[in-house]
């Protein structure tokens, strides 16, 4: 896969100083963690999942088929059967040459429990090449170790590596008096299984529901102070240099064009605070997220300069843009992350930005 592959050659030359690079399921995890971009969630009972994916109608690079909160308790068996049918349809299309598996989005299953994960994995065994991994909902100290033990069992039995994306969304995390102890214990679980953790996701909607809060499209998640307080603690625990996990930003629930400016504002705040990627619930949101993750020319030139001068001879260098000082040691970790993003999402020409990719009248 490659981001923005829907552009013509002329459009690519006009917009990008450095083109996005190809990536695939076997790419290094440190790049794949950055490559999910806008991860589209959809209920397992949604009609025509495979058909929509095979049409390449939307630039989907990663998606989650949800068997948990998006499915009624009485519809679980129906949803599981439908998932198997959808994977069978995908397999038939690949074998018939209708689509190249290398162009196919990363697919994750959001399961209800470890038992469902193991059972579905075996039922999907012959189609498992199309499955990237599993989303662990309501990840906690109580279920965390067993989730990973079951995932290792699945990887061993099927002879394939599947990634995990745990979701932090429980009361023990949002409740202040329990948070630090809970996050410390969860950190131990995730560090022990780091090779299987593609990224960590956060349940902004679940956190909000505990307090009976639903933010309006006029504000970002960072304006909801009880949620912001928790999100920043999660970032503090998991993206610090010695842990270096990738944490994805919470969902934005509004998808009409009237709400796009609020969506943009929140993604920019996500990035400023250290989130990478975004949970999304509508294809209309895809291009906006992807475009906002492409690296600006200024960021790229600063990052290159910092990496180049990390040789012990200099402590500070002037930016090529002559508007800031780049401190070699303090900005090194930032520069490394920028170069990872540049490989996946590309680098804009000077003077170009996300508005040249979104194709929206109001941008």
**pLDDT tens digit string along 267-283?**
999 999 999 999 999 99
For the chain, the average pLDDT equals 94
Evaluate whether 200 touches 247 at the Cβ level (below 8 Å): yes
Cα(170)–Cα(95) distance, integer angstroms: 42
Q: Where do runs of H (alpha helix) occur along 18-101?
A: 29-35, 49-54, 76-95
Q: How far apart are CA 165 and CA 144, in angstroms?
A: 11
What pLDDT, in 10s, does the model give residues 150-201? 999 999 999 999 999 999 999 999 999 999 999 999 999 999 999 999 999 9
Q: Are 148 and 193 in contact (CB under 8 A)?
A: yes
| All residues at 6 or more sequence positions from 27 whose CB lies less than 8 Å from its CB, including other chains | 35
Pairing of strands 38-43, 278-280: parallel
Please state whether 245 falls in left (phi above 0), alpha (psi between -120 and 50) or beta: beta
User: What would the pLDDT profile of 131-144 be if each residue is shown by its tens digit?
Assistant: 999 999 999 999 99
Stretch 100-105: mean pLDDT: 80
Under 8 Å between Cβ of 208 and 215: yes
DSSP helix/strand/coil, 2 = coil
Domain ranges of the chain: 1-20+294-363, 23-292
One DSSP character per residue, 303-346 reads HHHHHHTTTTT-SEEE-TTSS-EEETTTTHHHHHHHHHHHHHH-
CA atoms within 13 A on the CB side of 49: 24
Burial (0-12, 13-18, 19+ Cβ within 10 Å), 218: exposed
Counting every residue written for the chain, the total comes to 363
Give the Cα separation of 128 and 148 in Å (integer).
18
10 Å Cβ neighbour count for 41? Answer: 18
Of the candidates 18, 21, 16, 41, the residue with the CA atom closest to the CA atom of residue 31: 21
Band (pLDDT 50/70/90 cuts) for residue 227 is: very high
Token code pair at residue 145: 């170790």
Distance CA 330, CA 352 (A): 28
Residue among 256, 245, 254, 246 at smallest CA distance from 280: 254
Q: What are phi and psi of 278, to 5 degrees?
A: -150, 135
pTM for this entry = 0.94
Q: Which CATH superfamily is domain 23-292 in?
A: Phosphoenolpyruvate-binding domains (3.20.20.60)
Q: Over the stretch 319-354, which tens digit does the pLDDT of each residue have?
A: 999 999 999 999 999 999 999 999 999 999 999 999
Residue 54's pLDDT band (boundaries 50, 70, 90)? confident
Spatial distance between the Cα atoms of 285 and 264, rounded to a whole number of angstroms: 10
pLDDT in tens, 5-28: 989 999 999 999 999 999 999 999
Residue 56, CA distances (Å) to 51, 124, 292 in order: 9, 23, 21
Q: Which of 4, 65, 38 is nearest to 248 (CA)?
A: 38
DSSP character at residue 295: B
With contact defined as beta carbons under 8 Å apart, do 124 and 116 qualify? Answer: no
Which pLDDT value is given to residue 359? 63
Q: Write phi, then psi, for 207 (nearest 5 degrees).
A: -60, -45
pLDDT band at 360 (very low <50, low <70, confident <90, very high): low
């Amino acid at each position: 896969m490659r981001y923005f592959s829907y552009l013509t050659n002329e459009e690519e030359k006009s917009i990008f100083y450095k083109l996005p690079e190809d990536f695939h399921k076997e790419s290094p995890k440190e790049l794949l963690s950055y490559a999910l971009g806008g991860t589209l969630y959809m209920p397992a009972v949604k009609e025509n999942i495979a058909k929509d994916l095979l049409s390449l109608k939307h630039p989907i690079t990663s998606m989650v088929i949800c068997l948990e909160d998006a499915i009624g308790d009485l519809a679980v068996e129906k949803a599981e059967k439908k998932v198997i049918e959808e994977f069978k349809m995908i397999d038939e299309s690949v074998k018939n040459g209708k689509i190249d598996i290398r162009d196919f989005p990363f697919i994750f299953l959001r399961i209800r429990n470890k038992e469902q994960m193991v059972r579905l994995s075996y039922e999907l065994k012959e189609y498992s090449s199309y499955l990237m991994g599993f989303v662990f909902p309501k990840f906690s100290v109580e279920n965390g170790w067993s989730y990973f033990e079951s995932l290792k069992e699945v990887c061993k039995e099927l002879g394939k590596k599947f990634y995990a994306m745990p979701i932090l969304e429980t009361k023990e995390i949002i409740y202040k008096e329990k948070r630090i102890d809970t996050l410390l214990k969860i950190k131990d679980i995730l560090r022990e299984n780091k090779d299987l953790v593609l990224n960590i996701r956060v349940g902004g909607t679940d956190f909000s529901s505990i307090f009976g809060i639903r933010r309006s499209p006029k504000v970002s998640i960072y304006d909801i102070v009880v949620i912001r307080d928790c999100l920043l603690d999660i970032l503090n625990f998991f993206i610090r240099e010695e842990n270096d996990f990738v944490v994805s930003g919470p969902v934005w629930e509004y998808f009409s064009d009237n709400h796009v400016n609020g969506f943009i504002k929140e993604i920019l705040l996500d990035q400023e605070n250290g989130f990478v990627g975004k949970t999304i619930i509508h294809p209309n949101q895809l291009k906006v997220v992807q475009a906002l993750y492409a690296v600006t020319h200024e960021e790229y030139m600063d990052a290159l300069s910092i990496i180049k001068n990390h040789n012990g001879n200099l402590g500070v260098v002037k930016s090529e843009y002559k508007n800031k000082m780049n401190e070699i040691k303090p900005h090194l970790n930032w520069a490394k992350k920028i170069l990872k993003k540049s490989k996946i999402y590309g680098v804009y020409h000077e003077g170009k930005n996300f508005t040249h990719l979104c194709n929206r009248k109001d941008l």
